[in-house]
Amino acid sequence: MMIIKSDGSKVEYDGAKLRRSISRTGARKQLVEDVAADVEAQIKEGMTTGEIYRVVREELKKQSSCFACRYNLRAGILKLGPAGFKFEKYVASILKAYQYNAYVPEDDLEGSCVMHEVDVIAEKNGRRFFIEAKFRNRFQDNVDLKDTMATWSRFLDLVDGAAVGKCPHFDEVWIVTNAQFSDHALKFGVCKGIHMIGWNEPDERPLAGMVDNMTLYPITVLDGMKQSELEAFSEHDIMLCREVVDFDPEELAGKIGFSEERASDVIAQCAEVISEHHAENEPEHASRRT
């Protein structure tokens, strides 16, 4: 049976891929099989992947809103755009959960030759990391070779700038994206020692895996989140559902500017999203170098 991808191309339906996408939510094997069977009963020749995605979400909702929200991760990250600033904060929040001192700097840094905007700075074990957060508005978009080469060039200028006291020294450069890398971008990045983290890359710890393993779901996976609310959360650097549950309703309402009833609802939804997490899946450290 042929289905249509988001780029318009046709591919053979892959039941194993569907099951992997459902199991990513943390659902038990039997639930994965039950949901997959219900979804497959509704798939027809020529359906789009977007239509199948919506069917999966509806079937997961029947079982658990927790799993339905987790399945909504990739679409939730898209809501962090379009400018990408909230994605930078989200990347910093993920790294904080992995015990990095990570933040979005307020000011540009001076390299040897020019000033540079730095998306995220992270520090751990005496090392400092220069991180470019490459947000993409479409799943199928790439971070390509010119993007990767430009990042490498900025890193080298900052290293040279640090050598003459113009900026802090950076030990490593990372690129983190919600999309994927082109083959040439990956080849160049690996050759230069750039830490490349994409949606499904590297195999041992991609962005999706880093999120799932420690339930680092952004608040945008929640149904009915308004743009004004998202802006308020971002302004206060609250990007994760696991951060929201640390507030009581009165405190959250005062900080974000909505009613205690709405605050209670959001806290309850976030608590459900991060529930049913299995400690044995929690990693000891962030992604290894590619």
Per-residue model confidence (pLDDT) at position 26: 83
Contact 130, 109 (CB under 8 A): no
- In the three-class reduction of DSSP (H, G, I as helix; E, B as strand; rest coil), residue 197 is classed as strand
Per-residue model confidence (pLDDT) at position 91: 96
- Stated pTM of the model: 0.84
User: How many angstroms separate the CA atoms of 46 and 16, rounded?
Assistant: 19
- Cis amide prior to 283 (ω within 30 degrees): no
Per-residue model confidence (pLDDT) at position 276: 59
Residue spans of beta strands (DSSP E) within the chain: 2-4, 10-12, 101-103, 109-110, 115-116, 120-124, 127-134, 142-143, 172-177, 180-181, 195-197
Question: Concatenated DSSP letters for 67-127?
Answer: HHHHHTHHHHHHTT-SSSHHHHHHHHHHHHHTT-EEE--SS-EE-SSSEE--SEEEEETTE
Task: Indicate the class that CATH gives domain 218-273.
Answer: mainly alpha
* 14 CB neighbour count, 10 Å cutoff: 11
In angstroms, what CA-CA distances link 257 with 86, 109, 219, 237?
19, 34, 16, 15
Cβ contacts of 58 within 8 Å, gap of 6 or more: none
pLDDT along the chain (290 residues), means of 10: 85 92 87 93 92 91 85 88 78 96 96 97 98 90 96 98 97 96 96 96 90 91 86 90 94 91 94 67 37
Architecture of domain 78-202: 3-Layer(aba) Sandwich (3.40)
